[in-house]
């Protein structure tokens, strides 16, 4: 009996974890308790050294002094303030007005605004609720198919999960021991591609099922000229002029000079993501200057539509520059970018007279609560993995998943199916904290680049918001959708987008360079290369993993906690290493 | 039972006060980080103390908020199965979970981390980086946070026992507060109504 227990400690511990979690007690404590229980059993049976628990305070300390997770409250806070600032509503109304008269235009507007909001915040609920309240009624009024309308809203809302700055990428970066900034860079282009796929789908619908996505009549517009014309021409001219200026800027040597000046570093080439962000900003500045001068001088050359369009795009593009721009250009860390973004959101809400004490308190309370439960799951999972590694659980998982037929591809397919299936029941915090630490070492050992792996999983985990019936995006949409939209419509509406998501996962696996486009900075090698010939032994020896585990976040935290803080930890580490060497 | 429920109410009130104060740390750490990073970029002036105070505040937010999060049932659960159980079964699960999961973990962490704190306090341990801060104020947050969590665990257990014994309300049903999402939806509706009236 004891022999069986000792032999199969890791699988037993894993099975107990599943059992402990399914009971329905908060994940954080169930995980920690599972770790403690098996720690005690392990000590009693002599499988792990008695001093193991001495490393516990050190692990908690590692979570506390972890710069990565610090970005979590900042981006949460920023999102919560922004969702009340009225920015989303303005964007939806204006862009909806602009695109509406085209077939499928309202759906395009929703996707466009969804991507825009996603690039400013990482909160899914806010986008879905705003769109559900503002765009859904308009779409229904003009005869949009209910499934298409609700599906496009739910899916566009979840873009916040993949387009940086997203919360799930922070958590994944922490779990994979990679810098958040690299994760953001890597996810940027795939996020854009995914947005493009959504638009392609809507375009196909508009072409082949025009009745599902009708154009709204011109009379329904608010921003019209006195003579009844739409003013589109003037907008096109303005955009073209600004676009020309942007093109001139982007192809000149100015972006490079700017980056060198801003980051005070020696940069020799401009990365694509940085160029996109800079060009967006150049476009904004150019259009804003023209529209601003126009208003100041009281000219009547521009239409109301083009003025409105320009002014409404300024705040989100400004925020995108402040947060993503500074991160991509290497001026700020994600933590700093998040704090600056949150401060800017506060200022913006103040200027728009939307911020009051009650709202501020509510946003702070929600932020504190989310931070607390998320970081406690992390603490729980660290306690669990401390013991799980102690009983050589990582070797067991490696054996289980590393020996799959097909090597890398076999592993990726199995992992993606697993995550896809689990996403029906678990949300992304649970997935990231429970599943990823088990998978990451195996992926690394198979020579898979962890940044790429993280982005791939983030795209897959996005489906956890869209899976009927528990998907959060569907749930939020249900809570604001009119009763004429049946729940089953919302469920079916999500299905095509879940399929698009799977196509995207496939695309990233087949074309790994999609992810590498963003990381052309000097410090990153071509992902293609990394994919194939990362030296097997480099980071993946179990002892190394163990060491990293024991030291908390040596890799992800820029300033490591002094190792001397706990001599006991060193001692245990030594013992554990001997243990795992056996 | 009455005495115990009184105790539970006191614990609720304690964690309420702690939460009401500690949420302001969210604003403070945001402004501190934004300000110090702008100062660092623009004036090239910075200190490790600015960096360290960030994670002190971050730690305070999540550790001191844990008890309150438990009180508001905000800690994430996997409720695929649990949501099908009756309220009474859920209460029994919570009592057993608190007894066998939460309390032992809290006791163990408090016991282990108290020693670390005491050593740090008596030796005046300072962070190893230049310009680093005293470490014990951060070290004490661990036993403090887990202490608050332990107390709240006891309070939640008392409330559930009272519910099962029929002398208290359903602890999962009492909190009729609006969720943040509902509040957001209402705010947008109000705003739109106001806009609509202004336009007419």
What average pLDDT does chain B have?
A: 87
Query: Is B87 an 8 Å CB contact of chain A?
Result: no
Contact present, A533 and A507 (Cβ < 8 Å): no
pLDDT at A206: 92
- Integer angstrom CA distances of residue A230 from A29, A227, A535, B87, B103: 59, 9, 61, 58, 66
User: How many angstroms separate the CA of residue A563 from the nearest CA in chain B?
Assistant: 10
Tokens of A405: 């037929």
Tokens of A237: 């001219």
pLDDT at B18: 95
* pLDDT over 70 (residue A536): no
**In angstroms, rounded to a whole number, what is the distance separating the alpha carbons of residues A242 and A240?**
5
Cβ contact B75–A129 (<8 Å): no
**Interface predicted TM-score of the whole assembly (ipTM), two decimals:** 0.92
Other C-beta atoms lying within 10 Å of the C-beta of residue A476: 27
* A76-100 pLDDT tens trace: 999 889 888 888 888 888 888 888 8
What average pLDDT does chain A have?
A: 81
Contact present, A30 and A20 (Cβ < 8 Å): yes
SS3 of A58-82: the string is HHHHHHHCCHHHHHHHHHHHHHHHH
pLDDT at B99: 94
CA quadruple A494, A496, A497, A499: dihedral sign: positive
**In angstroms, rounded to a whole number, what is the distance separating the alpha carbons of residues A542 and A538?**
11
pLDDT at B181: 78
Query: Is B103 an 8 Å CB contact of chain A?
Result: no
Alpha helices in B140-179 (DSSP H): 141-164
Query: Is B9 an 8 Å CB contact of chain A?
Result: no
**In angstroms, rounded to a whole number, what is the distance separating the alpha carbons of residues B27 and B58?**
11
> Token match 């002029």: residue?
A241
DSSP label at A558?
S
**In angstroms, rounded to a whole number, what is the distance separating the alpha carbons of residues B190 and A256?**
47
Q: Closest Cα partner for A431 from A409, A390, A462?
A: A462
- Integer angstrom CA distances of residue A358 from A11, A94, A354, A559, B183: 49, 29, 11, 37, 12
Residue A340 has its nearest CB partner, among B34, B112, B187, at B34
pLDDT at A571: 46
pLDDT at A491: 93
**In angstroms, rounded to a whole number, what is the distance separating the alpha carbons of residues B171 and A301?**
64
Q: What is the mean pLDDT of residues A18-39?
A: 91
* A361-415 pLDDT tens trace: 989 999 999 999 999 999 999 899 889 988 888 888 888 887 788 788 889 999 9
* B116-175 pLDDT tens trace: 899 989 988 888 777 778 888 899 999 999 999 999 999 999 999 999 988 878 777 655
* A487-508 pLDDT tens trace: 999 999 999 999 999 999 999 9
pLDDT at A120: 86
A575 contacts: CB under 8 Å, gap ≥ 6: A49, A51
pLDDT at A565: 36
pLDDT at B178: 66
Range of the domain at B22: 2-199
* B187-200 pLDDT tens trace: 888 887 877 655 54
Q: What is the mean pLDDT of residues A549-556?
A: 38
- Which element (helix H / strand E) includes A359? helix A357-390
Cβ contact A89–B51 (<8 Å): no
Tokens of A272: 């694509």
Contact present, B138 and A62 (Cβ < 8 Å): no
Q: What is the mean pLDDT of residues A158-184?
A: 91
Number of A–B residue contacts, CB under 8 Å? 223
* pLDDT over 50 (residue A312): yes
* pLDDT over 80 (residue B79): no
What is the value of pTM for the model shown? Answer: 0.84
* Count of the separate structural domains present in chain B: 1
Reported confidence tier of residue B46, pLDDT bands at 50, 70, 90: confident
A296 exposed, middle or buried (CB, 10 Å; 0-12, 13-18, 19+)?
exposed
* pLDDT over 50 (residue A21): yes
Cβ contact B37–A53 (<8 Å): no
What region does A106 belong to: left with phi over 0, alpha with psi -120 to 50, or beta? alpha
């Amino acid at each position: 009996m004891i022999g069986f227990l000792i032999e199969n400690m890791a699988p037993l511990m894993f099975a107990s974890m599943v059992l402990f979690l399914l009971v329905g007690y908060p994940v954080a404590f169930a995980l920690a308790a599972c770790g403690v229980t098996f720690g005690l059993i392990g000590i009693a049976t002599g499988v792990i050294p008695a001093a193991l628990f001495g490393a516990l305070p050190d692990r908690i300390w590692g979570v506390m002094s972890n710069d990565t997770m610090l970005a979590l409250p900042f981006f949460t806070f920023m999102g919560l303030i922004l969702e009340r600032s009225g920015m989303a509503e303005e964007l939806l109304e204006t862009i909806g007005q602009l695109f509406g008269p085209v077939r499928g235009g309202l759906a395009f507007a929703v996707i466009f605004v969804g991507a825009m909001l996603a690039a400013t915040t990482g909160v899914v609920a806010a986008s879905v609720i705003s769109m559900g309240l503002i765009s859904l009624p308009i779409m229904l009024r003009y005869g949009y198919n209910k499934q298409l309308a609700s599906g496009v809203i739910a899916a566009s809302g979840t873009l916040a999960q993949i387009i940086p700055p997203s919360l799930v990428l922070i958590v994944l970066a922490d779990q994979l021991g990679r810098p958040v900034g690299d994760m953001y860079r890597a996810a940027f282009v795939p996020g854009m591609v995914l947005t493009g796929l959504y638009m392609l789908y809507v375009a196909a619908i508009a072409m082949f099922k025009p009745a599902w996505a009708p154009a709204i009549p011109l009379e329904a517009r608010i921003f019209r000229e006195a003579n009844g014309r739409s003013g589109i021409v003037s907008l096109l001219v303005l955009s073209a002029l600004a676009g020309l200026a942007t093109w001139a800027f982007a192809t000149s040597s100015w972006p490079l000079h700017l980056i060198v000046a801003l980051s005070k570093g020696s940069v020799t080439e401009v990365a694509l993501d940085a160029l996109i962000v800079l060009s967006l900003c150049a476009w904004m500045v150019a259009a804003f200057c023209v529209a601003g001068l126009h208003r100041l001088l009281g000219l009547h050359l521009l239409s109301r539509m083009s003025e409105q369009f320009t002014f409404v795009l300024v705040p989100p593009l400004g925020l995108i520059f402040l947060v993503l721009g500074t991160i991509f250009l290497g001026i700020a860390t994600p933590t700093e970018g998040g704090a600056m973004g949150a401060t800017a959101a506060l200022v913006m809400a103040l200027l728009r007279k939307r911020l009051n004490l009650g709202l501020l308190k509510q946003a702070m309370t929600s932020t504190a609560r989310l931070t607390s439960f998320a970081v406690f799951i992390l603490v729980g999972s660290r306690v669990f993995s401390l013991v799980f590694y102690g009983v050589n659980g990582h070797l067991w998982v490696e054996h289980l998943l590393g020996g799959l037929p097909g090597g890398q591809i076999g592993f990726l397919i199995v992992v993606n199916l697993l995550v896809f299936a689990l996403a029906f029941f678990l949300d992304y915090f649970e997935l990231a904290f429970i599943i990823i630490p088990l998978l990451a070492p195996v992926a690394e050992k198979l020579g898979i680049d962890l940044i790429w792996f993280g982005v791939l999983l983030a795209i897959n985990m996005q489906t956890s918001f869209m899976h009927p019936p528990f998907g959060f995006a569907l749930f939020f949409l249900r809570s604001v959708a009119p009763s004429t939209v049946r729940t089953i419509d919302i469920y079916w509406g999500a299905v095509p987008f879940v399929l698009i998501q799977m196509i995207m996962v496939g695309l990233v696996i087949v074309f790994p360079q999609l992810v590498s486009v963003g990381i052309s900075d000097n410090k990153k090698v071509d992902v293609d290369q990394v994919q194939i010939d990362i030296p097997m032994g480099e980071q993946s020896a179990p002892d190394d993993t163990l060491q990293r585990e024991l030291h908390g976040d040596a890799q992800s935290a820029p300033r490591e906690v002094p190792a001397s803080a706990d001599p006991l930890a060193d001692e245990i580490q030594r013992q554990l290493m001997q243990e795992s060497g056996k | 039972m009455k005495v115990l429920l009184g105790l539970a109410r006191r614990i609720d009130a304690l964690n309420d006060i702690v939460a009401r104060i500690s949420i302001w740390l969210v604003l403070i750490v945001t402004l501190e980080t934004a300000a110090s990073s702008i100062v660092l970029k623009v004036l090239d002036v910075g200190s490790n103390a600015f960096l360290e105070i960030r994670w002190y505040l971050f730690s305070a937010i999540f550790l001191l908020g844990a008890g309150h999060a438990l009180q508001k049932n905000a800690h994430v659960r996997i409720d695929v199965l649990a949501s099908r159980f009756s309220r009474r079964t859920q209460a029994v699960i919570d009592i057993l979970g608190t007894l066998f999961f939460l309390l032992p973990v809290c006791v163990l962490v408090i016991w282990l981390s108290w020693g670390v704190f005491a050593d740090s306090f008596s030796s005046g341990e300072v962070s190893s980086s230049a310009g680093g801060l005293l470490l014990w104020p951060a070290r004490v947050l661990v036993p403090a946070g887990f202490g608050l969590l332990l107390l709240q665990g006891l309070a939640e257990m008392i409330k559930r026992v009272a519910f099962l014994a029929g002398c208290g309300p359903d602890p999962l049903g009492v909190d009729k507060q609006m969720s943040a999402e509902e509040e957001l939806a209402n705010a947008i509706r109000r705003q739109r109504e106001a806009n609509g009236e202004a336009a007419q």
